[in-house]
Structure 1
Amino acid sequence: MKLVLWDVDRTLLYVGDTDRKVYREVFREVVGREAERLPARGTGVTMPLAVRELLNANGVAEAEVEDLAQRIVDRLPEQLGRYRDDMRRSGQLMPGAAAALAAVHQTQGLVPTVLTGNLQESAQIKLGTFSLLGHLDMSVGGFASDSPHRPALVEVAQRRSASAYECEFRRENSVIIGDSLEDVRTGQEGGAKVIGVASGTTSFDQLADAGADYVLTDLTDVKLLLNVIDELTSCTS
């Protein structure tokens, strides 16, 4: 069997400025003032690290960062959930994403799940908003809720999938599909092949130069995607 680890934001879907709006609102609620600077867009870092970046960039004293970061992280999914209608209106599915997800889900021997910098509840909210949850086994994914260190999430997903599907998953039969340099680093350090998708803020050439095993312009060519997954991975008994 082969483990297919999907990134969420800018690979499968785009929620516009919703995440940044949520960061701003929860920062104001927890810290008690407006955030003048927000996390960079499209970097792929986990939400806990983005929150620490948010606090540091806005001059919060180092001694307060840990406590305030945890309070913000705890509030993010609930606040995001209030914007489901806004995400439908202002967000979008990335080109080819729905058909690509369905094809991977329907292909025998492929285990489709998520590896994302989102908290698990946040990922479920976003994917559910765009009716994508039916194509993914969310119970075996890797989420920022598990660790703020994204490469560590590969092992989390491999271990959960091994238990659920009675198959050993390692670099040779695991592949990440993502749009950012962080996705490439996650695969290289965590133990998975990487299919880069130039659908976010990182260009085709940047993904290739960073060491992605293969780069796609987008997800519209489903046959090519399935062929690349097959070529990059090998079955393990």
Structure 2
Amino acid sequence: MTLVLWDIDLTLVDYSGIGRRWYQKALRNLFGVDMRHLPEFPGRTERSLTIELLTAHGMTEDEEYVQRMFAELIRIADEARPDMTRLGRALPGAAEVLATLGGRPDVVQSLVTGNLPELAGYKLAPFGLDRHIDLEIGGYGSISADRHDLVSGAMALAAAKHGREFPASSVVVIGDSPLDMAAGAYHGTVTVGVATGRHSAEELRASGAHAVLPSLADTEAAVAALLRSAA
């Protein structure tokens, strides 16, 4: 059985700029400050971004403050839910690849995403991309500042739910950034890059991708790339 762990932003959907806007609102609402430091977002976890922004704007990175930021981000995202189809789009081929893999009894699909669990659902549901993904066993950005912890977390949850181990060779981590590739490589998983984000195919290969796709638009090629190397 193969465990496929998807990144969300710029792999399955494009909500470019929405994270920056949500963090700007959260900082202003909670602390009355305007964002004057913009972190690098691709491949980062919500915990990592929150800690960086809190410290950059003179706040403590204590867990109480982190959780306050998480709660405010969830509240802001929840308010935006009616407008999500206008604020973003599903990337070409995402729905078809998810559905094709979802029809296979030998494949389990979940997430390794820097998003909070609630934000992950809010981003996927408007386009029906959550239908074939088991959100309960995902690795989310609330867990750790280090993305590789999200991979091991998802693998452990999948093993517990399905009553069997998923060896690293049977796990596919797919994403658009070098940090996605590094997180999978840390655990020895199969890594597949999708060059639909801010990084080129060459950058993804250099960061350890076993295969790189220009996009998910070619369903047959995408499914083959995801499953060919998995044991």
Residue 132 of structure 2 is aligned to residue 135 of structure 1: yes
- The one-letter code matched in structure 1 to 2:44 is V
After superposition, what is the alpha-carbon deviation per residue over 1:82-118, rounded to whole angstroms, capped at 9, x for unaligned? 1123321131111111111111111220101111111
Rate the CA distance shift 1:191–1:146 in 2: closer, same or farther, 3 A: farther
CA shift for structure 1 position 221:
1.4
Q: Is the 8 A contact 1:195 1:215 kept in 2?
A: yes
Counterpart mapping for 1:47-66 below 5 A:
47-58=46-57, 60-61=58-59, 64-66=60-62
Between the aligned partners of 1:84 and 1:17, the Cα distance in structure 2 is 16
After superposition, what is the alpha-carbon deviation per residue over 1:158-211, rounded to whole angstroms, capped at 9, x for unaligned? 111112222211211000110011101110113421100000011111001111
- The one-letter code matched in structure 2 to 1:127 is L
After superposition, what is the alpha-carbon deviation per residue over 1:197-231, rounded to whole angstroms, capped at 9, x for unaligned? 00001111100111111000000111112222222
> Percent identity of the aligned residues?
34
Counterpart mapping for 1:23-102 below 5 A:
23-41=23-41, 43-58=42-57, 60-61=58-59, 64-66=60-62, 67-102=64-99
Partner in structure 1 of residue 144 of structure 2: 147
Partner in structure 1 of residue 186 of structure 2: 189
Aligned alpha-carbon RMSD (Å): 1.5
Provide structure 2 residue ranges, at least 5 long, that are not aligned to the other structure. none
Q: Please give the secondary structure, in 2, of the residue aligned with 1:175.
A: strand
Between the aligned partners of 2:156 and 2:185, the Cα distance in structure 1 is 17
Q: Is the 8 A contact 1:31 1:68 kept in 2?
A: no
Rate the CA distance shift 1:90–1:125 in 2: closer, same or farther, 3 A: closer
After superposition, what is the alpha-carbon deviation per residue over 1:109-141, rounded to whole angstroms, capped at 9, x for unaligned? 010111111111111111112221111111111
Partner in structure 1 of residue 165 of structure 2: 168
Q: Please give the secondary structure, in 2, of the residue aligned with 1:113.
A: strand
Rate the CA distance shift 1:185–1:32 in 2: closer, same or farther, 3 A: same
Partner in structure 2 of residue 225 of structure 1: 222
Deviating beyond 4 angstroms after TM superposition, the runs of 4 or more aligned structure 1 residues are: none
Q: Please give the secondary structure, in 1, of the residue aligned with 2:131.
A: helix
Query: How many residue pairs are counted as aligned between the two chains?
Result: 230
- The one-letter code matched in structure 2 to 1:57 is A
CA shift for structure 1 position 145:
2.5
Between the aligned partners of 2:118 and 2:201, the Cα distance in structure 1 is 30
Between the aligned partners of 1:56 and 1:95, the Cα distance in structure 2 is 38
Counterpart mapping for 1:119-130 below 5 A:
119-130=116-127
Q: Please give the secondary structure, in 1, of the residue aligned with 2:61.
A: helix
Rate the CA distance shift 1:190–1:92 in 2: closer, same or farther, 3 A: same
Q: Is the 8 A contact 1:30 1:68 kept in 2?
A: no
CA shift for structure 1 position 19:
1.6
Q: Is the 8 A contact 1:154 1:191 kept in 2?
A: no
Q: Is the 8 A contact 1:155 1:191 kept in 2?
A: no
Q: After alignment, is 184-193 or 118-127 more displaced?
A: 184-193
Between the aligned partners of 1:165 and 1:52, the Cα distance in structure 2 is 34
